[in-house]
Amino acid sequence: MPIPQVDYAGFAETFDKTRSLAEAKQILWRRLFEKHLGLNAASRLLDVGCGTGRFSTLIAQQFKCAVVGIDPSASMLAKAKAKCYNGVEWTIGRAEAMPFADGVFDACLASQVIHHFQDQRRAFAEMYRVLAWEGRLGIRHSSHAQLETILDYRFFPSALQIDLERLPDIGVLKDLMHTCGFRLVTEHVVCQQLFESADDYLAKLRSKYASVLSLISKEEYQKGLNEAEAYFETQQLHKDDKYACITFLVGAKTDDQAPPSQQEINDPDVFSITSNRTTANCPSRSHKPHPRSSFPRSG
Ligand SMILES: C[S@@+](CC[C@H](N)C(=O)[O-])C[C@H]1O[C@@H](n2cnc3c(N)ncnc32)[C@H](O)[C@@H]1O
């Protein structure tokens, strides 16, 4: 199935505002990058599909290491460059054919981007190629179970189907990593805040903060937005709908047959692929989020 193309020119203006990295998120991701990607001041990190450089600049600032961000969207890169952060080098290009020599990076980050790759296998092979031996690949990506908990789909039902088709589930990603030579090291489920309030949620919907909202029909978008606006005239945003989980999957360019290191075995955060543990999903919610029937849908 062809991957639907999203034109990020339309997102560049609002992207940082609608996906801001609040301090709590910065601390959380810094800790995960340090621990699982092994980042330090000597690291060379490649941010694949860096967009406006949310993570590239965070990593360069926090670790004082060399960072390169690559993205095919000139508009997203223009926003990244405008941050004037000297520690990052920006390159226009696609994950499937990157203009870098073999083995020049210690870590690659692919954050919420896998579903945009036209050829995922080629992109994974490229990330493997540019990593040094024992380099790490970190992927921020939503599993299907994690997607299904997100509020948007209750107002825009066909968006869920589109996302389930375009986002590979975590098991598929693990297979892809394995096929391309990576040893899977860590599968970490992170719960993070998406929305602060009903007003914040509605503002994000109005700016089509999620790329899938540009893939549904204009009619469905308008209908869902009207329903959300009407619904939140009388309702608060439920606390469970403020949060969603995302998976942080880490692979290593190392001997696939190598057993997990003692450090990995001792680490409660590490789910080694060799132990065949299943994907952890979101922690169970204290209540079932509003059933769709509770929304004022006209059918
Ligand atoms: C949802 S944004 C994520 C940006 C950034 N990684 C972040 O988490 O803030 C997806 C980005 O993927 C980029 N993208 C689309 N196709 C790509 C490809 N084939 N290779 C690399 N990046 C791509 C888009 O231009 C866009 O900037």
Tell me the angle at which helices 120-130 and 170-179 cross, rounded to the nearest 10 degrees: 50
Model pLDDT for residues 61-107, shown as the tens digit of each residue:
999 999 999 999 999 999 999 987 778 999 999 999 999 999 999 99
Locate 240 and state its tokens.
């469970």
Would strands 243-252 and 183-193 be described as parallel, antiparallel, or unpaired? antiparallel
Helix-helix angle 54-63:23-36, to 10 degrees: 70
Q: Nearest-CA neighbor of 142 among 72, 210, 57, 217?
A: 210
What is the pTM (predicted TM-score) of this model?
Answer: 0.88
DSSP string over 211-255: GGGGTS-HHHHHHHHHHHHHHHHH-PPPGGGGEEEEEEEEEESS-
Helix (H) or strand (E) holding 68: strand 66-71
Please provide the average confidence, as pLDDT, over all residues in the chain. Answer: 87
Looking at the CA of residue 54, tell me the nearest atom of ligand 1: 9
Q: What is the 3-state secondary structure (H, E, C) of 138-166?
A: EEEECCHHHHHCCCHHHHCHHHHHHHHHH
pLDDT, one tens digit per residue, over 174-184 is 999 999 999 99
Nearest CA to ligand 1 atom 1: 112
Distance 111 CA to ligand 1 centre (A): 8
pLDDT reading at 246 higher than 60: yes
Q: Is the pLDDT of residue 296 over 50?
A: no
The 10 Å CB-count burial string (b at 16+, else e) for 8-37 is: beebbebbbebbebeeebbebbbebbeebb
121-141 confidence digits (pLDDT tens): 999 999 999 999 999 999 999
210 and 299 Cβ atoms separated by less than 8 Å: no
- Check if 105 has its Cβ closer than 6 Å to any atom of ligand 1: no
pLDDT higher than threshold 80 for residue 161: yes
**Where does 8-143+169-194+245-275 sit in CATH, by number?**
3.40.50.150
Distance 11 CA to ligand 1 centre (A): 11
Q: Is the beta carbon of 76 within 6 A of some atom in ligand 1?
A: yes
In the chain, the largest separation of any two C-alpha atoms, in whole Å, equals 58
Which sequence spans correspond to the domains of the chain? 8-143+169-194+245-275
Cα of 17 vs centre of ligand 1, distance in Å, is 16
Angle at which helices 198-206 and 218-234 cross, to 10°: 170
Rounded distance from Cα 290 to ligand 1 centre (Å)? 31
Give the C-alpha separation, 131 to 196, whole Å.
38
d(CA 37, CA 135): 8
Determine the distance separating the centroid of ligand 1 and the alpha carbon of 113, expressed in angstroms: 5
CA distances from 116 to 36, 80, 94, 131, 207 (A): 24, 19, 10, 21, 20
Q: What residue type is 109 in one-letter code?
A: L
- Our CA dihedral for 280, 32, 253, 98, rounded to 10 degrees, sits at 110
Q: Across residues 131-157, what is the average pLDDT?
A: 96
- CA of 88 from ligand 1 middle (Å) equals 17
Indicate if ligand 1 lies below 6 Å from the C-beta of 51: yes
Please say if the pLDDT value at position 250 is more than 60.
yes
**Average pLDDT, integer, range 266-278:** 41
The answer to whether the CB of 284 falls within 8 A of the CB of 149 is no
Ligand 1 atom closest to residue 72's alpha carbon, by position in its atom list:
25
Amino acid code (one letter) for 2:
P
Contact 143 CB / ligand 1 (< 6 Å): no
The tokens for 173 are 């990603």
Token pair in block for residue 148: 């299904």
Q: Is the pLDDT of residue 163 over 90?
A: yes
Q: How far is the CA of 136 from the centre of ligand 1 (A)?
A: 19
User: Is residue 166 within 6 Å of ligand 1 at its C-beta?
Assistant: no
